[in-house]
Amino acid sequence: MDVRSMTKRELSEYIEANRDAPDPALLSEAAGLRDEYYGRRIFVRGLIEFTNCCRNNCLYCGIRSANRGINRYRLTKEEILECVKEGRRLGLGTFVLQGGEDAHYTDDVLCGIIRSIKEYAPDCAVTLSVGERSYESYKRLKDAGADRYLLRHETADKAHYGLLHPKEMLFGNRVRCLYDLRSLGYQVGAGFMVGSPYQTSETLAEDLLFLKRLEPHMVGIGPFIPQAATPFGDKRGGTLGLTLTMLALTRLMLPRTLIPATTALGTIDSRGREKGFGAGANVVMPNLSPRERRGDYALYDNKLCTGAEAAESIDQLRALIEDAGYTMDTGRGDSLVEAVRSDRKGKDKVYEYKQ
Ligand code: SAM
């Protein structure tokens, strides 16, 4: 299927027709394309959820600032380094530092953490996922040694973005961040939730077209899962079928991108990760955070953090990957999409971006 030449209308009609059950031909084409570009390797990243404090109040997210029902925590540099050491012992070559937008982690603090990780493991890749910051801040973090940055765009439809976020969070700033990160030479990950409230086949088609324009190095796609203490606690969650359709369409749109089979996908279906591989995904991110903290990083209800989702159970993850017909790759696993530093702020691109 020639997804790259499809119009928004064609994409949205296709999505609408395949909402419940993905077309097996689409899945096998997407998996075949992944094999052609990356082989049958599944890359493993160690995920360190280092703070659940967040200044934002996203309507879908369990660590939103208004949620008084969770224990807030922050990991020190030493605690983060302990997680990295454990990851090295397991042979991991990429560490993903994810957290809420937490003012405690100033540029100085984050740069110190990045430098210590790089001193300890110079050959590893450090991925950050700490939300919206200024161009200057992203530049400092890059210069300190950060290699990659994950910042899901969440939805490429401005009006839909406004329904998922409080009014002080602006879609234009999210897009500005993504283009700034690209221009600074980061390997950049965008992405969105499937089945978020008010999402339609049209907004999903817009997501695909947005990704085509941005050409990110990674795309994170997982089902929306309600979290009881949020305003969306009683909304319906995203389905397995539609998530697989969107994973496969994204693989066809961006054959050279890295696509994780997310924890959220593993949470809604016990074989979700394997089904994700079957739709063209090729990354998993088991949890390296201190075990006693994992329950507090509660983005959504029943979030998996044990079994193959826990880095210390890497043998279980290897078995899952091999049983599904793939090999596990714990190396850096860089994206095939080139990271190009242009030293030109991405701001201009935002104006080019048409809604
Ligand atoms: N603060 C950083 C940011 O904004 O990118 C990283 C942390 S944020 C919690 C990571 C991702 O979790 C978000 O991009 C969002 O897509 C996902 N997420 C949050 N709440 C979710 C939910 N209820 N269901 C599924 N995914 C969710």
Q: Can you tell me the mean pLDDT for 93-101?
A: 98
**How many angstroms separate the alpha carbon of residue 2 from the centre of ligand 1?**
31
Model confidence pLDDT, tens digit, residues 214-244: 999 999 999 999 999 999 999 999 999 999 9
Helices 8-17 + 240-253 axis angle, to 10:
150
Burial bucket for residue 196 (CB in 10 Å: 0-12, 13-18, 19+): buried
Q: How far is Cα 43 from Cα 181, in angstroms, rounded to an integer?
A: 23
Nearest CA to 186 among 144, 155, 158?
Answer: 144
Confidence of residue 254 (pLDDT cuts 50, 70, 90): very high
Spatial contact of 280 and 34, defined as CB atoms under 8 Å apart: yes
Percentage of the chain with pLDDT > 90?
90
Distance 328 CA to ligand 1 centre (A): 26
Pocket-forming residues, ligand 1, beta carbon under 6 Å: 60-61, 63, 98, 100-101, 129-131, 151-152, 154, 193, 222, 224-225, 227, 264, 299-300
Residue with the smallest CA separation from ligand 1 atom 8 is 100
Q: Give the span between the Cα atoms of 112 and 165, in whole angstroms.
A: 31
Q: What is the pTM of this model?
A: 0.95
Q: Give residue 299 CA to ligand 1 midpoint distance, Å.
A: 7
- Greatest pairwise CA separation for the chain in angstroms: 51
Token code pair at residue 174: 């999210």
Q: Which of 165-174, 180-189, 287-296, 308-317 has the lowest mean pLDDT?
A: 308-317
Nearest atom in ligand 1 to the alpha carbon of residue 300 is 23
Using alpha carbons only, what angle is made at residue 288 by residues 284 and 293, rounded to the nearest 5 degrees?
125
Q: How much is the average pLDDT of 80-98?
A: 97
Model pLDDT, residue 20: 87
> Distance from the CA of 50 to the center of ligand 1, in angstroms?
14
Q: CA–CA separation, 344 vs 182, rounded Å?
A: 10
Distance 144 CA to ligand 1 centre (A): 25
For ligand 1, mutation pick of 193, 232, 236 (most atoms within 8 Å of CB) = 193
Distance 11 CA to ligand 1 centre (A): 25
DSSP string, 118-161: HHH-TTSEEEEE-----HHHHHHHHHTT--EEE---B-S-HHHH
Residue of 194, 56, 52 whose CA lies nearest to 132: 56
Query: For a pocket test of ligand 1, which of 51, 61, 240 has the largest count of ligand atoms closer than 8 A to its C-beta?
Result: 61
The superfamily (CATH) of domain 3-333 is Aldolase class I (3.20.20.70)
- Kindly state the tokens that stand for 154: 């969440």
Model confidence band, residue 322 (pLDDT cutoffs 50, 70, 90): very high
C-beta neighbour count of 123 within 10 angstroms: 8
pLDDT of residue 349: 52
In one letter, which amino acid is 95? F
Burial label for 185, CB within 10 Å (0-12, 13-18, 19+), is middle
pLDDT band at 298 (very low <50, low <70, confident <90, very high): confident
Q: Which residues is 194 bridged to in the sheet?
A: 223
* Nearest to 26, CA basis, from 6, 41, 44, 40: 6
Alpha carbon distances (Å) from 158 to 162, 169, 221: 6, 11, 18
| pLDDT at residue number 340 | 72
Assign 310 a pLDDT band (cuts: 50, 70, 90): confident
Rounded Cα distance, 46 and 86, in Å: 10
**Cα-to-centroid distance, 189 and ligand 1 (Å):** 13
Listed as own residue / partner, the contacts of 17-24 with beta carbons closer than 8 Å and 24 or more positions apart are 18/241, 18/242, 18/245, 19/201, 19/239, 19/241, 19/242, 19/245, 20/239, 20/241, 20/242, 21/241, 22/241, 22/244, 22/245, 22/248, 22/279, 23/245
Which atom of ligand 1 is least distant from the CA of 60?
A: 23
Give the chain's count of helices (H) and strands (E).
Answer: 14, 9
Q: What confidence category does residue 163 fall into, taking pLDDT thresholds of 50, 70 and 90?
A: very high
Whether the Cβ atoms of residue 55 and residue 100 lie closer than 8 Å to each other? yes
Strand, coil or helix: 33: helix
Q: Do the Cβ atoms of 152 and 165 come closer than 8 Å?
A: no
Atom of ligand 1 nearest to the CA of 264: 25
For the stretch 326-354, pLDDT in tens is 999 999 999 999 877 776 665 545 434 44
Specify whether the CB–CB gap between 171 and 158 falls below 8 A.
Answer: yes
Cα distance between residue 281 and residue 265, in whole Å: 11
**Residues 302 and 227: beta-carbon distance below 8 Å:** no
